[in-house]
Amino acid sequence: MVRNKLTPPNRMLMQLQLRVAAELRCSMWWATDHSDFSALGPPCLSTILVPAANVGSLYGTFYKTAFQQKEVSEGALDLMSAHPLIDTHVDLPLILRASAHTDIDNRSNPVEAAEQIAGPYPGHVDVPKLRQGKLGGIFMAVRVPCRSGTDYFLPSDDVRDALEQVDQIQLIMEEKEFQYARSSEDNLKAFKAGKFATFIGVEGGHMLGNSLSILCIWAQLGVRYDTLTHTGYNAFASSAGSGDPLDPLYIDGLTKLRLIGTVMIDLSHVSDETMRQSIQISKAHALFFHSAARAWWDHPRNIPDDVLDMIRSEEGKNNGVIHCVFCDKFVGLEDPTLQKVADLIEYIAKNCGRAHVGIGSDFDGIDYSVEGLEDATKYPDLISEMMARGWTDEEIIGLMGGNLMRVLDEVDRVQQRSKDQEPSGAVYDQRTDDNLPGLARGHLEERSNNLTLDIED
């Protein structure tokens, strides 16, 4: 396989890539060597930062393959005009934050960056591309670098940095093309108004600051899913490549559905045991917002067949949804094309059923796009391919987002039923400030002992 990368069209593009690389720091999962996992599971492994002139995701990457582009069918375009296609994972906020220099040392105007997506904008996603690709809804992923090794329990700026990206998303939604969404009803309202329904997801439990309380705060801010881990461990679970189970802290949170009812849990980056245990103990549907199948392409981040089998809608199964990623690392490095992504969708559907598949491209978060799905203009090509393979209109509507909206509605119903349930009070036992509650109690006791009441008879 030969990777051909187009020459970057301008200096701004090269500078933007360098900022993205700095923003990602140790979290460029796709550019790492995954072969050696420590006993602590995969940390943010030693990163190979790709030179600016060689990063295809920002200006288009293609492969020399036998791929033949087919003409998009009118049926696909008609279906997409009538029903919203939802991409459940786009890393545009990361690109915008980097281009806006929104770091503490070199802060400029993030509003300008948000306005730039009116297009043309380097990368996979901007408004013209989304319009051409007939996208209906989008999950903007909040993403900041995660710690490596055992550092995950130390204090960090992760929550702050994540909040800055949420603020960036809010700026995006001030543009007329986007409309904030939290529910399936919001999604349809935005679609009928000709706007992009914009949901928020958080990519990594490290952005919870080792606290279940932060999960509740994310819910209050409108976040609809949290990826349980990214490329390293956190207080709740182990990342892909390890065999460790869930932490008791997370299990306590799972069993108290008020926490999980409003924020869906994304299992895309977690270890096999974390996948299995989450599905077994949670009453919520299992969701993978940007994933692939391990039997299809052997990568530790992909889903093993026994977990795929747990997602079915049969009695005793989970009835969740797996959203297929467009990244060559997970789809398959051997001539990755649109057809290979379609084959992956078919494989997952064969194991789980067509009611359990969706689309989660990982646009703007992947280094190499597959041929035929180079950017957000190409969604109709994939839908046309699935129609050519005999998928019915109903099945394709499900693939485009109907399957996810079914689960989202059920998640919201569960939340309503459990809203009076007492939230978890569990605290991570390795927090470096875990002595603060004790100090506070001691201070109050001291004040109480010294308190004298002057009561007049």
Per-domain boundaries in the chain: 3-417
97 pLDDT higher than 60: yes
Question: Annotated catalytic, 362?
Answer: yes
358 pLDDT higher than 50: yes
Helices H / strands E in the chain, number of each:
18, 11
Question: Annotated catalytic, 443?
Answer: no
Percent of the chain with pLDDT over 70: 66
pLDDT, position 372: 96
- Residue 350: pLDDT band with limits 50, 70, 90: very high
Inter-residue contact 159 to 206 (CB < 8 Å): no
Q: Which of 325, 321, 399 is nearest to 361 (CA)?
A: 325
Burial 362-383 (b: 16+ CB within 10 A, else e): bbbbbbbbbbbbbbbbbbbbbb
342 pLDDT higher than 80: yes
With 0-12 CB in 10 A as exposed, 13-18 as middle and 19+ as buried, what is 115? middle
Q: Which of 322, 382, 380, 383 is nearest to 356 (CA)?
A: 322
31 pLDDT higher than 50: no
Please give the average per-residue pLDDT across 157-177, as a whole number: 86
C-alpha torsion sign, points 444, 447, 449, 451:
negative
pLDDT, position 254: 58
178 pLDDT higher than 90: yes
Residue 127 CA to residue 3 CA, distance in Å, equals 27
Report the relative pairing of strands 223-227 and 196-203 from DSSP bridges. parallel
441 pLDDT higher than 80: no
48 pLDDT higher than 50: no
Higher pLDDT, 442 or 276: 276
Please give the average per-residue pLDDT across 80-102, as a whole number: 86
Pick the catalytic residue from 23, 83, 89, 161. 89
Question: Annotated catalytic, 89?
Answer: yes
Pick the catalytic residue from 206, 290, 299, 356. 290
pLDDT, position 240: 78
User: Is the domain 3-417 a CATH 3.40.50.720 member?
Assistant: no
Residue 150 CA to residue 451 CA, distance in Å, equals 44
pLDDT, position 5: 38
Question: Annotated catalytic, 230?
Answer: yes
Q: Mean pLDDT across the chain, nearest whole number?
A: 75
pTM for this one?
0.78
Pick the catalytic residue from 91, 126, 158, 385. 91
Pick the catalytic residue from 83, 124, 230, 323. 230
Name beta bridge partners: 371: 337
8 pLDDT higher than 80: no
Residue 249 CA to residue 252 CA, distance in Å, equals 5
15 pLDDT higher than 50: no
Please give the average per-residue pLDDT across 258-263, as a whole number: 61
Question: Annotated catalytic, 203?
Answer: yes
Please give the average per-residue pLDDT across 436-452, as a whole number: 44
Pick the catalytic residue from 126, 164, 186, 203. 203
Please give the average per-residue pLDDT across 112-137, as a whole number: 86
Pick the catalytic residue from 362, 371, 381, 395. 362
